[in-house]
Amino acid sequence: MTPVEACKYFRLEGEVTECSKYGNGHINDTYLVVCKKDDGTQVKYILQCVHCTIFKDPAGLMENIKKVTSFLKEKIVAVGGDPMRETMNLILTKDGEVFEKDPSGDIWRVYVFIDNATCFDKVEKPEDFYQSAYAFGKFQNLLADFDASTLTETIVDFHNTAVRFERFKTVVAEDKMNRAKDVADEIKFCMDRAEDMRSCVDMLKAGKLPLRVTHNDTKLNNVMIDDATGKGLCVIDLDTVMPGLSINDFGDSIRFGANTAVEDETDLSKVSLSLELFETYAKGFLEGCGGKLTDAELSMLPMGAKMMTLECGMRFLTDYLEGDVYFKTHRPGHNLDRCRCQFALVADMEKKMDDMHAVISKIAK
Ligand code: ADP
Ligand code: GN1
Ligand code: MG
């Protein structure tokens, strides 16, 4: 089904006048839909096609989003916030459902478009990074009393780095695209860190880190900053909200936003961890979490940053070896470029581990 056809299934106000590709996400096909009402005013929506090769249980996924956004809405209203801008709002299909399944098995959904707010692909101002951190921290804080047992695990073992490492080794052994020979250094980079791959998972299993309801995909472009106030407005991209580790939510934001280069930078001399941005984010995240992190979580925040970067680099490498079937790519070798950039950042983080710990100790005391 085409995106314009998909629109017909939803309760949109007015006539569709525009339906165009939108945003820079690596997973969903996202479209901006503009409708014109009889009185001439415009209404905007976000239409998304969610690929069921990635999300195997779309009904469970959409049920999660429905539950989480309803829960957040109540909390937002209770403190006098604006529930139409501070959380995602699903538009129902004409049959009253939260998604439409097309004959090919793909599912379509529509959200209210959050206008006059921006998703940044790179930190332009440290203040925006602070605001994104506060918003992600607050998101976790607001969901602290959400019943995690009611959530479907939308991608099983999503941040189980140990399981991902096992799968990576299988993909290397299979080498179905005959690409492993070109990436011996990158494969070794992972193998050399076999011990690390277990670290966070083992702490969770040992009960040293608590399982919380987390976002699990806390890139800067998954939060909207209000154009007028400059405040973190709304956390978006809720496909992976499920039980997880707070240190991973912290870590993934650092991976993406505290890198002095973009995620797919090919000039690796530009890649490094900005300790200034690390501190900025840590302050915002801890404030947003409202003091709810345990001492063990605090002391593992730097490790969370390293592990999310290592895991993400390994995922890009896995996808490169498998023939670029998971992440959207925009040029040949794109996943490999992304992988190399992540590994360069891991290497820099390893040098700066003590500095990161010093920053957390300073802020948390
Ligand atoms: P992906 O999983 O592919 O990253 P996202 O849900 O993050 O998909 O959406 C991709 C982009 O679309 C976002 O980075 C953001 O720019 C934009 N976007 C998504 N939802 C909204 C919304 N409700 N209002 C405005 N922009 C949105
Ligand atoms: C994907 O969907 P998006 O673009 O916000 C991915 C994340 C990765 C990220 C790397 C469901 O995030 O896990 O960290 O790309 N999302 C999924 O940029 O796999
Ligand atoms: Mg996204």
Q: Which residue matches tokens 């970067």?
A: 309
Residue 349: how many CB atoms within 10 A of its CB?
26
Please tell me the distance from the alpha carbon of residue 55 to that of residue 96, in angstroms, as a whole number.
Answer: 22
User: 36: CA distance to ligand 2 center in Å?
Assistant: 33
pLDDT confidence of residue 365: 79
Structural domain ending residue among the three candidates 114, 146, 168: 114
Does this model's pTM top 0.75? My answer is yes
In total, how many domains does the chain have?
2
Where do the DSSP E strands lie in 308-347?
none
Shared domain for 75 and 148, answered yes or no, is no
Shared domain for 188 and 73, answered yes or no, is no
Tens digit of each residue's pLDDT (9 = 90 or more) over 85-127:
999 999 999 999 999 999 888 899 999 999 999 999 999 999 9
Nearest CA to ligand 2 atom 18: 26
Shared domain for 59 and 202, answered yes or no, is no
Ligand nearest to the CA of 221: 1
Shared domain for 180 and 62, answered yes or no, is no
User: 112: CA distance to ligand 3 center in Å?
Assistant: 16
For residue 66, which of 146, 172, 122, 10 has the smallest C-alpha distance? 146
Shared domain for 177 and 201, answered yes or no, is yes
Q: Which atom of ligand 2 is nearest to the CA of 155?
A: 11
User: For residues 163-188, b (16+ Cβ closer than 10 Å) or e, as one string?
Assistant: ebbebbeebbeeeeeebbeebeebbe
Please tell me the distance from the alpha carbon of residue 110 to that of residue 93, in angstroms, as a whole number.
Answer: 9
Shared domain for 171 and 320, answered yes or no, is yes
Shared domain for 183 and 305, answered yes or no, is yes
In a domain, 214, yes or no: yes
In a domain, 308, yes or no: yes
Shared domain for 349 and 246, answered yes or no, is yes
In a domain, 134, yes or no: yes
Q: Which range marks the domain in which residue 301 is found?
A: 126-364
DSSP 217: -
User: 26: CA distance to ligand 3 center in Å?
Assistant: 7
For ligand 1, is residue 240 a contact (CB within 6 Å)?
no
Shared domain for 328 and 273, answered yes or no, is yes
Domain of 39: which CATH number?
3.30.200.20
In a domain, 119, yes or no: no
Shared domain for 15 and 135, answered yes or no, is no
Question: Across the strands, what pairs with 49?
Answer: 29, 108
User: 236: CA distance to ligand 1 center in Å?
Assistant: 7
In a domain, 216, yes or no: yes
pLDDT confidence of residue 291: 87
For ligand 1, is residue 23 a contact (CB within 6 Å)?
yes
For ligand 1, is residue 120 a contact (CB within 6 Å)?
no
Domain of 151: which CATH number?
3.90.1200.10
For ligand 1, is residue 22 a contact (CB within 6 Å)?
yes
DSSP letters for 27-71: SSEEEEEEEE-TTS-EEEEEEEEEPTTT-S-HHHHHHHHHHHHHH
In a domain, 120, yes or no: no
Ligand nearest to the CA of 119: 1
Best mutation site among 22, 28, 30 for ligand 1, i.e. most ligand atoms within 8 A of its Cβ?
A: 30
Share of the chain above pLDDT 70, in %: 100
Full strand arrangement of the beta sheet holding 223-226: 117-118, 223-226, 232-235
User: 38: CA distance to ligand 2 center in Å?
Assistant: 39
pLDDT confidence of residue 49: 97
Q: Is 74 helix (H, G, I), strand (E, B) or coil?
A: helix
Shared domain for 77 and 136, answered yes or no, is no
Structural domain ending residue among the three candidates 65, 92, 114: 114
Q: Which atom of ligand 2 is nearest to the CA of 252?
A: 14
Is 68 exposed, middle or buried (CB count within 10 Å of its CB: 0-12, 13-18, 19+)?
buried
Structural domain ending residue among the three candidates 63, 91, 114: 114
> Could you list the pLDDT tens digit for every one of the 365 residues in the chain?
999 999 999 999 999 999 999 999 999 999 999 999 999 999 999 999 998 889 999 999 999 999 999 999 999 999 999 999 999 999 999 999 999 999 888 899 999 999 999 999 999 999 999 999 999 999 999 999 999 999 999 999 999 999 999 999 999 999 999 999 999 999 999 999 999 999 999 999 999 999 999 999 999 999 999 999 999 999 999 999 999 999 999 999 999 999 999 999 999 999 999 999 999 999 999 999 998 899 999 999 999 999 999 999 999 999 999 999 999 999 999 999 999 999 999 999 999 999 999 999 999 97
In a domain, 121, yes or no: no
Nearest CA to ligand 1 atom 8: 25
pLDDT confidence of residue 105: 85
For ligand 1, is residue 221 a contact (CB within 6 Å)?
yes
For ligand 2, is residue 161 a contact (CB within 6 Å)?
no
Shared domain for 84 and 164, answered yes or no, is no
For ligand 2, is residue 307 a contact (CB within 6 Å)?
no
User: 326: CA distance to ligand 2 center in Å?
Assistant: 10
Residue pair 54/26 in contact (Cβ under 8 Å)? The answer is: no
pLDDT confidence of residue 260: 98
DSSP letters for 124-178: SSHHHHHHHHHHHHHHHHHTTTS-GGGS--SSTTTT-HHHHHHHHHHHHHH-TTS
Rg of the Cα atoms in the chain:
20
pLDDT confidence of residue 186: 98
In a domain, 184, yes or no: yes
Q: Which atom of ligand 1 is nearest to the CA of 26?
A: 3
